[in-house]
Chains A and B, each alone.
Chain A
């Protein structure tokens, strides 16, 4: 699905992403873990077009998409969410979702004035779609609230909702679980699972919560200092010595040993 070949992103002398090569399979939910500053978010930004990679290639189904602008990638079905939820604060949750499908009929000046009826039809369809998505995410009671005023966790759901307004191929989720309570986290995990099963979305998830990773992700990739440290199933990763040293710490291993004993 997505193939990353020897990707580099340097900021001055600092090599945030330093030669990452990996493949993400279609229909998988891949977990991306690693200590803070490992370059996970930078890798996302480089793929999603916010930063131009210094070096290397990103292929989407064989097509070179390296360095395309975010709105161009959007048309190819590549979407992402942010670590700290972004929203159009002054618009309602429903309007936030309705912003998403691009190239709407009302987007050209000519149609704004001379295509009123067709715009109205399209808006009605969009409203219905947005309401359906809000229902799916169990936040339909918030549809008319200003998005800037809902809680952090609900903003995260809204971000997920944004990817549902169009048929995304691959969605990059940057710490969907950060700052979200357990109940809401379960809602998010369920939503991700259902999207993956029912609509065939491919997900790449950055997450620090190992329970969350365990519940959703296979395979798991561990990054540290801008490089891929290990790649494999969760069990393999958990037992990989480099990963334990760089990220998980020895506590987890001991805990598991105790369980085995």
Chain B
């Protein structure tokens, strides 16, 4: 019984939140890794692209709510998602046309494109804050829980509750669907194959008659979709605040690099690795240990390795270790 309680507490506070957070990071890291693999630069504007996409989704959610459109018990934001993807794609393609294309034509070094993406990041950053403000926005509606802690206790007669939020389930299901679709697209379709070919060997791809502008176009479309979905899911699960999305850049890059930049499979593995490390290290283990250890060993402290305020230190530490000892990442990616 004690052990069962420990497992339930662990699932409730560690496993389920980490799986949801990991899915969001994985989707974000996939976007970063695609840009790195195909367009060959580290896109620092990705966090703010996510913020922009989420902002558009929020604005349309509010509009839908005001005219009474809803798909309850699912959150209205899912309905706004396709529109947000289109708007974000327009923004990315516009940016590419106005800014990035110039540098591509010059065959600029990746490090120059990286700095350019920093500039784009600041512009997006300002754009989002200008439109929706810097404050916290909540936009999730519909059913809040699939099963709440109290219902769970009543149902099972146990002392500990297990809550599963609707947003967590939606996050995981959406992430699985999106990843399956992406891999099918990259591996099975002609367009996906030419994108892989372009990433594999740019010169040869050009000489095989692959139109680079078309590859770039499709890359941005996919990145817009990935960023908007990742951002909206994160916002639904927690809340939307522009600064938080800017900060998300660190765990997302850590995830992409840990998995091996340019490797989609690695980005997913990296996302979960970072999410689980972050949650494990910042969780207060007191309750779980009290249940599992014999009574005389029960801890009196919180048993928390790191305060949650320091959670970004975890990504940062993992990033450093990987860059020092295995710069190409766990899965084989392009070396930095």
Contact = CB atoms under 8 A, between A and B. Distances in A.
Report if A and B associate in a common complex.
yes
Interface of A: 48-50, 69-71, 74-75, 79-80, 82, 86-91, 95, 99-109, 112, 119, 123, 162, 166
A88 B196 contact: yes
Given A82-B203, A109-B221, A75 B190 contact: no
A86 B208 CA distance: 11
Given A74-B208, A90-B200, A112-B189, 10 more contacts: A71-B211, A82-B204, A86-B203, A88-B196, A88-B205, A91-B197, A99-B194, A106-B191, A107-B191, A109-B221
A72 B185 CA distance: 26
A99 B193 contact: yes
Nearest to A147: B200
A91 B196 CA distance: 9
A70 B206 CA distance: 6
A89 B197 contact: no
Contacts of B207: 48, 70-71, 74, 79-80
A45 B129 CA distance: 47
B218 interface: yes
A74 B204 CA distance: 11
Contacts of B196: 88, 90-91
Interface string B28-54: 000000000000000000000000000
Contacts of B214: 107
B196 to A, nearest CB: 7
Contacts of B208: 74, 99-100, 102, 162
Contacts of B200: 88-91
A107 B190 contact: yes
Given A99-B193, A106-B190, A108-B191, A71 B204 contact: no
Contacts, number: 80
A88 B201 CA distance: 6
B209 A71 contact: yes
B110 interface: no
Interface in B152-199: 185, 189-191, 193-194, 196-197
B203 A71 contact: no
A141 to B, nearest CB: 23
B17 interface: no
A86 B204 contact: yes
B203 A95 contact: no
A122 to B, nearest CB: 8
A41 to B, nearest CB: 13
Interface size class of B (residues with CB under 8 A): 20 to 34
Contact of B197 (A75, A82, A88, A108): A88
B119 to A, nearest CB: 27
B203 A102 contact: no
Contacts of B203: 50, 70, 82, 86
B210 interface: yes
A106 B189 contact: yes
A99 B210 contact: yes
A159 to B, nearest CB: 9
Contacts of B185: 112
A105 to B, nearest CB: 8
Contacts of B206: 49-50, 69-71, 74
A100 B207 CA distance: 9
Contacts of B210: 71, 99, 102
A162 to B, nearest CB: 7
A95 B196 CA distance: 11
A95 B193 contact: yes
A109 to B, nearest CB: 6
A79 B208 CA distance: 8
Contacts of A103: 209
A50 B204 CA distance: 10
